[in-house]
A and B are shown apart, each in its own frame.
Chain A
Amino acid sequence: MSGVGVAVEVRDLVRAFGDFRAVDGVSLKVERGEVFGFLGPNGAGKSTTIKMLCGLLLPTEGSGRVGGYDIRNESEEIKKTIGYMSQKFSLYDDLTVEENIRFFSGIYGVPKAKRRQRMDWALKMAGLLESRSAVTRTLPGGYKQRLALGCAILHEPPILFLDEPTSGVDPLSRRSFWDLIHHMSMAGTTVFVTTHYMDEADYCDRLALIYRGRIIAEGTPRELRQEHMDRTVLEIETDRFVEALEALNSKGVEAALFGRLLHATVDSEEKAVPEIGSILSEAGIEIKRMEKIMPSLEDVFVTLIEEA
């Protein structure tokens, strides 16, 4: 985090559609230069919140500022302050790479004198210097994603909203995409990102989990792991995983397969380890290894949602 100050701050935000409150009292604060992960299942209120933050949708209740501008009556200023990239990448598939960049330069009002320089910057950033005349449709997913990102930040916005930016993008491209995001954050850009992939949530400075329109947890990845898992996960390696699972489940131990391993969720490690040991040895199954593991963020979130 290199900036000082608040990039996004909203209080008690509500958006109702008829009787349905898609967003029901959301308060958020994002510091400048922070990578903020906004997570939640489909239909939880993620997109509705983002639309209100970007000045695309008026809140029913509540107030807030984005980049210092009021989300109720300064939406035009907000649109100039932010970059927005959605999972659909919003590129024109039948235009070439260069034509897309030129088009978005126009939309975002990049000054004429700067266009050449921003074009070169975007081409280089996306790794498309050699393919500037290629029709966008023909690009591999990872390149399209980087081009879309480049187009979303041609006007050098201090705040960037990314809505599931890595959906359907392969691991290599995702890795370099996140490197780029971290680079920008180090240079002071605030990044507000949604994702379904919990391994990516670990790349964020801070996270909020939204469910049924309300924030149900907030904190750094480390805090969320420590505070919200009061139960222990034991990883068990055996010689026969399917039989081991059946033996444990039949004795009431909460266990699930994880590849060839078992993950057992228990209240007390001290009590469970000998208990599991005797259940499996009675079934004639060898335990090669049993140890406590850090819960993944996915474990944490699924638990939080099930308890909510």
Chain B
Amino acid sequence: MSGAVAIRTSGLSKVFGGTVAVRDLDMEIARGELFGLVGPDGAGKTTVMRLLAAIMTPTSGEAWVAGLSITKEGERIKEKIGYMSQRFGLYEDLTVIENLRFYADLYEVPEKERSARTERLLGFSNLTPFKSRLAGQLSGGMKQKLGLACALIHTPEILFLDEPTNGVDPVSRRDFWKILYDLLKEGVTIFISTAYLDEAERCTQIGFMHKGALLMKDEPLRIKKSFGLPVIEIWTDDARQAGELVRNMAGVKGASIYGDRLHVTFSSMESVDAVVARLGASGVRVRDHRGIVPSLEDVFITMAEA
């Protein structure tokens, strides 16, 4: 395995009872990527992450993380990676600094490096003024940043973040992404799962998971550009009524409302004019329509419904 690859999986599968949570996953993620695993609830995102973090063993298949086998070298993988679960893994009755010290013990960070590292992580996450506050009394955004700081205490090469921004407000989310990009610049590989497509758009690579299988993996821009179906943005005086009407018309695969615009996915270019004409005939005034690059949401909803 070459040094340029951070994560590689081969036929990775996990079965719980009769349910296949992860099905035959083959995937490669290069070092220095910010990879986003996207998919609906129950798609298998968390299971993949736990397998790669060597918290769980696969039913079949294999994977290598930082060049180490998840089935044979799980303990060594833990030294190379940071992992933040959906609950941030914090001790709410410990203070900010005590949480960091606890993780430093857990990861056996050498005594002489500790204070420099905790100071740096506190600064980096803007938590220095709150270091004596109990974790349980932090806001959602601050808990998230502390969770991240704890996952970074042993300067891992690869960082796993499981739906890190659930319930976090936009300003804190923006800060959090700034931190992720700073880590990326330092060469850390980041593997993040999310159910939010505006967040997936910020990743350098994304994989779309559905019912345990990886349906697609590419750069966000390339995924949007290679979407085979025409997407037309229609501007009318009543987007909602237009949406209701369009959904039941022949040749329309889906429609969604974006403010006063409608994005309509067509099964082929031929149906476009007919649909626009029928909309006009139903009394909806069509102000304008034009072909657009689809949003990731347009792409994924069409794929998941296929």
Residues in A lying within 8 Å of B, measured CB to CB? 40-43, 87, 140-142, 164, 167-173, 175, 178, 182-183, 185-186, 196-199, 202-203, 220-222, 237, 241-242, 245-246, 256-261, 296, 298, 301-302, 305
Q: Are B166 and A167 in contact (CB under 8 A)?
A: yes
Q: Beyond the given A237-B221, A257-B181, could you list 15 further A-B residue pairs with CB under 8 A, ordered by the A residue number?
A: A41-B171, A141-B41, A168-B195, A170-B195, A173-B40, A175-B256, A196-B170, A197-B170, A199-B297, A203-B257, A256-B181, A259-B202, A259-B204, A259-B220, A305-B171
User: Given A43-B139, A182-B243, A261-B221, A171–B170 Cβ distance below 8 Å?
Assistant: no
Digit string of B155-195 for contact with A (CB within 8 Å is 1, else 0)? 00000000000111111111000100100110000000001
Interface residues of B (CB under 8 A from A): 32, 34, 39-42, 139-141, 166-174, 178, 181, 184-185, 195-198, 201-204, 219-221, 240-241, 243-244, 256-260, 297, 300-301, 304-305
Residue of A at shortest CB range from B241? A186
Can you give 11 contacting A-B residue pairs, CB < 8 Å? A140-B41, A164-B167, A167-B166, A168-B195, A171-B300, A185-B240, A199-B198, A259-B219, A260-B221, A261-B221, A302-B170
Give the CA-CA distance A196 to B140 in the complex, in Å: 12
Given A197-B196, A237-B221, A172-B304 contact (CB < 8 Å): yes
User: Smallest CB–CB gap between A249 and chain B, Å?
Assistant: 10
Do residues A171 and B185 form an inter-chain contact, with CB atoms below 8 A?
Answer: no
Chain A residue with the shortest CB-CB distance to B197: A171
Q: How far is the CA of A16 from the CA of B92 in the complex (A)?
A: 28
Residue of A nearest to B203 (CB): A259
A305 to B171, CA, bound (A): 8
- A109, B181: Cα distance in complex, Å: 53
Q: How long is the Cα–Cα vector from A221 to B239 in the complex, in angstroms?
A: 14
- CB pair A175–B167 under 8 Å, yes or no, is no
User: CB-nearest residue of chain B relative to A241?
Assistant: B204
Q: How far is the CA of A260 from the CA of B225 in the complex (A)?
A: 15
**Nearest chain A CB to B227 CB, angstrom units:** 16
Could you say which residues of chain B place their CB within 8 Å of the CB of A170?
Answer: 39-41, 195
The answer for the CA separation of A221 and B258 in the assembled complex, in Å, is 10
B259 contact from A168, A173, A222, A256, Cβ within 8 A: A222
- Which chain B positions have C-beta within 8 A of A305? 171
Closest 4 A/B residue pairs (Cβ): A170-B40, A41-B169, A257-B181, A170-B41
User: Residues of A contacting B260 with CB < 8 Å?
Assistant: 222
Contacts of B301 in A (CB 8 A): 171-172, 175
Whether B185 lies near A196 (C-beta < 8 A) is no
Closest to B36 in A: A259
Give the contacting residue for A198; candidates B170, B220, B241, B244; CB below 8 A: B170
Q: Which residues of A contact B305 (CB under 8 A)?
A: 172
A298 to B256, CA, bound (A): 20
Which residues of B lie under 8 Å from residue A241 when comparing CB positions? Answer: 204
Shortest distance between the CB of B31 and any CB in chain A (Å): 12
Contact A298 B219 (CB under 8 A): no
Give complex CA distance A221, B257 in Å: 13
If A171-B297, A237-B221 touch, does A182 touch B198 (CB 8 Å cutoff)? no
Distance to closest chain B CB from A182 (angstroms): 5
Take A245-B185, A260-B221 as given contacts and tell me if A302 and B171 are in contact as well, using a CB distance cutoff of 8 Å: yes
Which residue of A has the minimal Cβ distance to B219?
Answer: A260
Contacts of B34 in A (CB 8 A): 259
Residues of B near A41 (CB, < 8 A) are 169-172
Complex: A130 Cα to B260 Cα, angstroms: 36
- Given A140-B42, A172-B40, check contact A42 B169 (CB 8 Å): yes
A205 to chain B, nearest CB (A): 9
In chain A, what residue has the closest Cβ to B180? A257
Judge whether A168 and B202 touch: CB under 8 Å. Answer: no
A168 B42 Cβ-Cβ under 8 A: no
Give min CB distance, A163 to chain B, whole Å: 12
- B259 and A260 contacting across the interface, CB-CB below 8 Å: no
Nearest CB in chain B: distance from A49 CB, A: 16
Chain A hits for B259, CB < 8 A: 202-203, 220-222
Instruction: Check B41 against A257 for contact (C-beta < 8 Å).
Output: no
A103 to B219, CA, bound (A): 48
Complex CA distance for A264 and B151, rounded to whole angstroms: 30
Which residues of B are found within 8 Å of A256, using beta-carbon distances?
178, 181
